[in-house]
Amino acid sequence: MRVLVAEDEPVLARMLGAGLRREGMAVDVVRDGNAVRDLLELTEYDVLVLDRDLPGTHGDTLCRSLAASDTRTRILMLTAAGTLHDRVRGLGLGADDYLCKPFEFPELVARIQALARRAAPATPPRLRHAGLTLDTVRRNAERDGRTLSLTAKEFGVLRVLMEADGGVVSAEELLERVWDAHADPFTGAVRVTMSKLRAKLGAPDPIRTLPGSGYALC
């Protein structure tokens, strides 16, 4: 899941970024509206967590512009203004959900996950392919009944491969969907993670490497 957090308060921005990454999300964090606009032109996110009162381009302007586009990105608006009028106005701008500050972090995670399910094509909560089982809700993975202890990146890579159901997934797509904007496309991050994932999956190797094209499940 790819999430963009736009929050101008530095402590809260750092806490949100760190907390959501612990939940296995690929998270980019920015602190002004102009940076949001620039990143949205480069990357399609599953969810934008948008502080309403951003410096630079205001959150209302960003929300209205994104809602009018054909993007699948869902918008969760954050604000300290919690009156009914404020909530109605925020939703009227095109936000998909609205959360007032202060909020409980587990509720934020649940709302982001719910919006991400709406952003992506419908997939079953439990994915299966040739002896592999992936529970996307509980974040559990098994192979032939054996529980796999996967890192967040390994789980994300396996999920993308299983959603492709045997189709080829390029290294660029894996980097786009599992890592954040700080990932260097010229590093071996995908290759290293793939190697570690294969070791945990065991023999026979269920992942094919197609030189020049990417990876696919057998």
Shared-domain flag, residues 30 and 91: yes
CATH code for the domain of 141:
1.10.10.10
Same domain, 91 and 137: no
Does 130 lie in the same domain as 114? no
Q: Which domain holds residue 182?
A: 126-217
State the CATH number of the domain containing residue 95. Answer: 3.40.50.2300
CA distance 105 to 116: 17
DSSP 3-state helix, strand, coil percentages of the chain (rounded to 5)? Answer: 40, 20, 35
Whether residues 201 and 171 fall in one domain: yes
Rg (C-alpha) for the chain, rounded Å, is 18
pLDDT of residue 83: 62
Split into its structural domains, the chain has a count of 2
| 14 and 90 belong to one structural domain | yes
- What pLDDT sits at residue 90? 62
* Contact indicator for 198, 143 with CB cutoff of 8 Å: no
- What distance in Å separates the CA atoms of residue 15 and residue 31, rounded to the nearest whole number? 13
Same structural domain for residues 171 and 72? no
Spatial distance between the Cα atoms of 135 and 83, rounded to a whole number of angstroms: 38
Q: Tell which of 92, 119, 146 closes a domain.
A: 119
Tell whether 8 and 73 lie within a shared domain: yes
Q: What is the pTM for the complete model shown?
A: 0.66
Give the pLDDT confidence score for residue 148 in this predicted structure.
95
> Do residues 9 and 24 share a domain?
yes
Q: Which phi and psi angles does 193 have, rounded to 5°?
A: -65, -40
Q: Are residues 143 and 100 in the same domain?
A: no
**pLDDT for the residue 122:** 53
Q: Identify the pLDDT of residue 6.
A: 96
* Tens of each residue's pLDDT in the chain, 218 residues: 889 999 999 999 999 999 999 888 889 999 999 999 999 988 889 999 999 889 999 999 999 998 888 888 999 998 876 666 666 676 778 889 989 888 999 999 999 988 987 766 555 678 899 899 999 878 899 999 999 999 988 999 999 999 888 899 998 888 888 887 666 666 788 999 999 999 999 999 999 999 989 999 98
Report the distance separating Cα 92 and Cα 123, nearest Å.
29
**pLDDT of amino acid 152:** 87
* Beta pairing partners, 127: 134
In the listed set 79, 98, 119, which residue is the last one of a domain according to the structure? 119
Last residue of a domain, one of 102, 119, 136: 119
Residues 49 and 109 in one domain: yes
Residues 80 and 169 reside in one and the same domain: no
203 and 147 in a common domain: yes
